Amino acid sequence: MNEQKIKSIMSTILKISEDEIHAESSPDNIKTWDSLQHMNLILGLEQSFGITFDDEEIIQLLSYEIILAIINEKVQ
């Protein structure tokens, strides 16, 4: 459930197709994932899930795998 929602948000904000997103997807292999889009992604995820990331989490959330893990932790 969270997987699908995260992929859909990443796909609309980073303007990529959902199929392109896999565990290791990160700013290193997704061109549109720059620091500005990272901010939009974080804000968008927070808004959609109704959560707030801690200050340090924001800079750690640099792959799909980590995003999923931290969100799973927060939305339990």
Partner 1 sequence: MNIINNPISDLESYIDEFQSAELPLLNITILRNITVEPIKPYIEYLTLCMGFRANLVFGDYDNILQDILTSKLLQKNSDCTMVFLKLETLSPALIYRFTELSPKEIQSEIELIHNFIDTALKGIRAKTNSLVCWHGFELPISPAFGMLDFGNESMQYAVIEGLNRFLKKQLSTHSSCYYIDLNNIRSTLGIFNFYDNRYWHMAKSPFTLAALKNIAIDNFKLIRASKGKNKKCLILDCDNTLWGGIVGEDGLDGIKLGPDYPGSAFYEFQQEILSLHHRGIIIAICSKNNEEDVWSVIDQHPHMLLKREHISAYQINWDDKAQNIQKIALELNIGLDSFVFIDDSEFEINLINNRLPSVETIQLNKRHSLDYKAALATCGFFDSLSYTKEDKLRNKQYHEENDRKNSRESFDGNIESYLKSLDMVAHLEFANSSSISRIAQLTQKTNQFNLTTKRYSESDIKAFTDSKECIVLTVKLEDRFGNLGIVGCAIVDLVDDEAHFDTFLLSCRAIGRGLEMVLLHSCIEVLKSLKVNSYNANFIPTQKNKQVEDFYSNFGFKLISNEAGIRNYIAAENSEFAQKPNYFKTIIFNS
To the nearest whole angstrom, how small is the minimum distance from the Cβ of residue 51 to partner 1? 12
Report the residue number, 48 or 72, with the smaller CB distance to partner 1: 48
To the nearest whole angstrom, how small is the minimum distance from the Cβ of residue 28 to partner 1? 20
The residue assigned the tokens 């939009």 is 40
CA distance 6 to 45: 7
Report the residue number, 39 or 75, with the smaller CB distance to partner 1: 39
**Chain residues in the site for partner 1 (CB under 8 A):** 8-9, 12-13, 35-36, 39-40, 43-44, 47-48, 53, 55, 58-59
| Tokens of residue 71, six digits | 């969100």
With vertex at residue 73, the alpha carbon angle to CA 66 and CA 19, rounded to the nearest 5 degrees, is 40
Of 1, 24, 20, the closest CA to residue 12 belongs to: 20
Report the residue number, 29 or 40, with the smaller CB distance to partner 1: 40
